[in-house]
Amino acid sequence: MKFDNEFFSLGYIDRLSYKETFIHNIDARVKLAISMMFIVCVVSFPKHVVLSLIPFFLFPVIFLTVGEIPLGFIVKRLVIVIPFVFFIAIFNPIFEKRVAFYIFNIPITYGILSFFSILIRFVLSVSMIILLVATTSFSGICYALRYFRVPEIFITQLLFLYRYIFVLSEEAMRMVRAKDMRSFGNKGTELKFYVKLTGTLLIRSILRAEKIYHAMLSRGFNGIMPYRKKRVFEKRDFLFLIVSMLFLYLFRFFDIIKFVGRIFVRGLS
């Protein structure tokens, strides 16, 4: 029943995006813009930087807590992708053996620094994107993309992907269930089955696509997806945008860690 689980977790992220919290209610264009700026800021640091990246965790943490997204949900998704990044970064400590500094006599090389730098950047940007999707309705994201002049054809693709991924996966789920019920634990033919399942799904979706196109034509479709301009910026959207940009600017161009550290040290002495 693994397939069932996957299917329902797909529905889960969708359900999350229909909550009503402060973060959910922020205009999708603002959230998209902030997320993009966030990623650009995170990625644009020099390659050995580790500490300066830490303050950026503020953003995912705020999205997570205010948006009432369960932490486990994000972690699970990160864990799936992390091995890939791990193997991309793993060669840095091997090739770059110049020592940067010592902590308790343990030499820390530039390679190790850049290794962690890559991992942190990855966690930051991927969790930000997952959180963006989990706190914004899909139609909102498409609306925002359109606002930022992403070509119409990509948006149309996205809209249909989102609309029919549920229909298609439900279809696949029913087929897998039907097969499970008649296979009596016989595992030998799994692969063969999935090959055929994929083929059947492809043909079914082509047929469905034809019907959908028919439905679109009967409602006057002429090649361009129509949409209406409706949403307006509210005060809180502006406020959120400006405050977020301010923080991004601070985190990117000032050494917050050093600053906080100095205050801390001064407080101690």
Partner 1 sequence: MSHHIVRFEKVEYEYPDGTKALKGIDFTITHGESVGIVGANGSGKTTLLMHLNGYILPTRGIINIGDLILNKQTRQEIRKKVGLVFQDPDDQLFMPTVYEDVAFGPLNMGFDSKTVDEKVKKALEIVNCYDLKDKPPHHLSGGQKRAVAIATVIAMEPDILAMDEPSSNLDPKSRRALINLLKSFTHTKIIASHDLDMILDVCDRCIVIKDGIVAADGPSSKILSDEQLLEENNLELPLRLQKF
Contact residues: partner 1, CB under 8 A: 11, 14, 137-139, 142, 159-160, 162-164, 166-167, 208, 211-212, 214-222, 226-230
C-beta of 18 vs 87, nearer to partner 1:
18
Q: Closest distance between partner 1 and the C-beta of residue 28, in Å? A: 12
C-beta of 33 vs 137, nearer to partner 1:
137
State the DSSP code for 254.
S
Strand partners, 108: 101
Helix locations, the chain, DSSP H: 2-16, 22-25, 28-43, 58-66, 71-89, 91-95, 110-135, 138-147, 152-183, 190-218, 235-253, 256-268
C-beta of 188 vs 226, nearer to partner 1:
226
Q: Closest distance between partner 1 and the C-beta of residue 227, in Å? A: 7
Strand partners, 103: 106
Q: How far apart are CA 136 and CA 16, in angstroms?
A: 9
Q: Closest distance between partner 1 and the C-beta of residue 158, in Å? A: 9
Q: How far apart are CA 52 and CA 58, in angstroms?
A: 12
C-beta of 152 vs 255, nearer to partner 1:
152
State the DSSP code for 26.
S
Q: How far apart are CA 113 and CA 200, in angstroms?
A: 49
Q: Closest distance between partner 1 and the C-beta of residue 210, in Å? A: 9
Instruction: Give the N- to C-terminal CA distance of the chain in Å, as an integer.
Output: 61
C-beta of 49 vs 175, nearer to partner 1:
175
State the DSSP code for 55.
G
Q: Closest distance between partner 1 and the C-beta of residue 174, in Å? A: 13
C-beta of 14 vs 255, nearer to partner 1:
14
Q: Closest distance between partner 1 and the C-beta of residue 220, in Å? A: 3
> What's the token pair of residue 98?
């110049």
